[in-house]
Structure 1
Amino acid sequence: MTMNKIAWLIDSSAYLSNTLKDHPDVYVIPINIHFGLEQFVDGVDLTHEQLYDRIRNGTASIKTSQPSAGEFALLYEKLGKEYNSIIAIHVSKSLSGTLSSSISGAGIAQVQVEFIDSLSLSAGITGLVERGLQLQEAGQSYQEIAAALRGMVSKFRNYILIGNLTQLYKGGRLSSVQFYLGSLLKIKPVIQITPQGELKELDKVRSHKKAIQYLINKAVEASVNDGLQHVYIMHANAEQQANDLKEAILQQAPHLQFTIGEISTSLAVHAGEDTVALLWYL
């Protein structure tokens, strides 16, 4: 058994930054994606390009499902033999059953795990793990690290600009009337993951240009009022838009640092193409 090392377990809704992608102690369990009767594994056998092509041209219903408790148990049995400590950080339990499956899997495997409900997704999970690795490097115990990360959860902020209403409508988060009126009036909804880990509509903005300015204003305000230092910009097949947003923010807050990345296929199923999000921890 490897001594004094922590296994970090996350689900594939998380954004894999270079730090996480290249770290030998970070493990990712994939979420499942269903197109009608077909099933794919997030990040394994379905590329972003294939997903967006299916969204644009396919007719089958699209949904996601969490990994089973059995899948978690197999991984936990392996990790329990190789590590003394395990910390699992998952997508908000209000948005997915992944955390519940993870807890059940650990029970089956009979291993001790520190579970953390990120109350977020994507870069929200990323930021927690990156901070946890820093605390680990500083010599803190896994219990101390878990406690610190639970305290950090409440400091998460996010603003998500939906690029295409179609996927929200197909996923049941928009009524047919809302979808029709939103498309007709070119409304750009800005949604947010609340401190309780739930999705809610934060604002409606007329025109894409005004919506982008809305995001710019939020980042600049946090920079001035809250001492914001680092921002994640996540996007759904909209890298140029993400880079343009970064440059626009830098014009008013030149000290800010940025990480730009693409959301996972399991999240793009719901958010849709051209979605852009700003996320950070204070």
Structure 2
Amino acid sequence: MKKKIAFVTDSTAYLPQELRAHPDVYVVPIVVISEDKEYEDGIDLSSDQLYEMIRNNKEVPKTSQPSVGKFQKLYEDLKQDYDQAIAIHVSSKLSGTYASSMSGKDQADFNVEVIDSLSISYAITALINKGLELVNLSEDVNVKVIADQLRDEITKSKNFILVGHLEQLYKGGRMSGVQFLLGNVLQIKPILSINAEGELGMLERIRSEKKAISKIIELLKQTNQENGLKKIEIMHGNVEEKASQLEQVIKKSVPNVDIVIGEISSSLAVHAGEGTLAVFCQTIE
């Protein structure tokens, strides 16, 4: 009999309806803290509610990784129905979620391959989709083999991020005071990117959003020429119209590539802010 495999992730991942409804996909929510109250991302806090908090509350909300106990409980429950699991999480350089998952699986004594995606959002989604595909294709499922294949896939992912509000990135500890000051004074619209080590950094300093969009298109065209593009995803922070406009521009410059539009999760919006546009893509090579 074919071994059953569960897939586990956290709520920084973008999960379309088909993944949310998938019987073998489980999500552990990131905790959002606002005015001493804790909310579980995607369970008792929607993105609309979060943006209301950001606009109206005095303090900027913060995030906290899921506890080790939360992962331990999930893995103990999964042991009843699954032989093994693959967990794919937000970059360990951006959150302690990966470490909590590792500790949780050890305490539950369950066979889990825990993968550091070295990224966020749709980059995680792409790995989950690939993992499910590999499981379906395999006659004799081996989680280590599949996990190693997914770790190879990580190198084929790129991202370009236009942050909606630098203030939130600064207050969340993701940007230095000097970078924040320069960005505001010079009205810079920086293009950020999560690098191959999973660290968030400055890719380009641009003086306007229009020029920043043009630069992202240039980077996508360059990536397509060098490695070929399989898919492009536009994630947005409550600016769907802007995301749709960007989709049309990308289609003209990089034709014949599937494009997906989705919304960043509340746990990411805490740091990136309303108005954020992030482009993810997976290369062929």
TM-score band w.r.t. shorter chain = over 0.9
1:38-57 → structure 2 map (5 Å cutoff): 38-57=37-56
* 2-structure distance, mates of 1:160, 1:60: 24
User: In the alignment, what sits opposite 1:87?
Assistant: 86
Structure 1 contact 72–106 (Cα < 8 Å) conserved:
yes
User: In the alignment, what sits opposite 2:20?
Assistant: 21
* 1-structure distance, mates of 2:61, 2:199: 21
Secondary structure at 1:82's aligned position in 2? coil
CA RMSD of aligned residues (A): 1.5
Question: CA deviation digits over 1:129-181, x for unaligned, max 9?
Answer: 10111111111532221110011112221111112112112213344454344
Structure 1 contact 164–272 (Cα < 8 Å) conserved:
yes
Of the structure 1 ranges 246-255 and 133-142, higher mean CA displacement relative to structure 2 is found in: 133-142
Structure 2 contact 83–111 (Cα < 8 Å) conserved:
no
**1:255 lines up with 2:256 in the alignment:** yes
* 2-structure distance, mates of 1:262, 1:5: 31
* 1-structure distance, mates of 2:19, 2:38: 26
Identity score, percent:
48
Secondary structure at 1:220's aligned position in 2? helix
Quote how far apart the aligned CAs of 1:121 are: 1.0
**1:198 lines up with 2:195 in the alignment:** no
Partner amino acid for 1:9? Answer: V
Structure 1 contact 8–87 (Cα < 8 Å) conserved:
yes
Quote how far apart the aligned CAs of 1:32 are: 0.2
Secondary structure at 2:80's aligned position in 1? helix
User: In the alignment, what sits opposite 1:219?
Assistant: 220
Of the structure 1 ranges 26-35 and 162-171, higher mean CA displacement relative to structure 2 is found in: 162-171
Secondary structure at 1:86's aligned position in 2? strand
Secondary structure at 1:229's aligned position in 2? strand
Of the structure 1 ranges 16-25 and 5-14, higher mean CA displacement relative to structure 2 is found in: 16-25
Quote how far apart the aligned CAs of 1:223 are: 2.1
User: In the alignment, what sits opposite 2:280?
Assistant: 279
User: In the alignment, what sits opposite 2:133?
Assistant: 134
1:132-211 → structure 2 map (5 Å cutoff): 132-139=131-138, 140-211=141-212
Quote how far apart the aligned CAs of 1:126 are: 0.5
TM-score by length of 2: 0.94
Structure 1 contact 11–28 (Cα < 8 Å) conserved:
yes
Secondary structure at 1:168's aligned position in 2? helix
Structure 2 contact 158–280 (Cα < 8 Å) conserved:
yes
Question: CA deviation digits over 1:76-125, x for unaligned, max 9?
Answer: 01101101120111111111111111111111111111111111111111
* 2-structure distance, mates of 1:278, 1:135: 25
User: In the alignment, what sits opposite 1:119?
Assistant: 118
Partner amino acid for 2:148? Answer: A
Taking a change above 3 Å as real, the CA distance of residues 110 and 176 of structure 1, as seen in their structure-2 partners, is closer
* 1-structure distance, mates of 2:274, 2:168: 8
* 2-structure distance, mates of 1:176, 1:157: 27
Quote how far apart the aligned CAs of 1:184 are: 3.4
User: In the alignment, what sits opposite 1:65?
Assistant: 64
Secondary structure at 1:92's aligned position in 2? coil
Structure 1 contact 233–242 (Cα < 8 Å) conserved:
yes
Secondary structure at 1:96's aligned position in 2? coil
Taking a change above 3 Å as real, the CA distance of residues 110 and 174 of structure 1, as seen in their structure-2 partners, is closer
Quote how far apart the aligned CAs of 1:61 are: 3.7
Secondary structure at 1:4's aligned position in 2? coil
* 2-structure distance, mates of 1:128, 1:267: 18
Partner amino acid for 1:94? Answer: K
**1:34 lines up with 2:33 in the alignment:** yes
Taking a change above 3 Å as real, the CA distance of residues 116 and 175 of structure 1, as seen in their structure-2 partners, is closer
Structure 2 contact 53–61 (Cα < 8 Å) conserved:
no
* 2-structure distance, mates of 1:32, 1:43: 10
Quote how far apart the aligned CAs of 1:3 are: 5.1
Question: CA deviation digits over 1:32-89, x for unaligned, max 9?
Answer: 0001311111001111111111112211242111111111111101101101120111
Question: CA deviation digits over 1:231-252, x for unaligned, max 9?
Answer: 1111111111111111001112
Unaligned runs of 5+ in 2: none
* 1-structure distance, mates of 2:163, 2:239: 12
Secondary structure at 2:111's aligned position in 1? coil
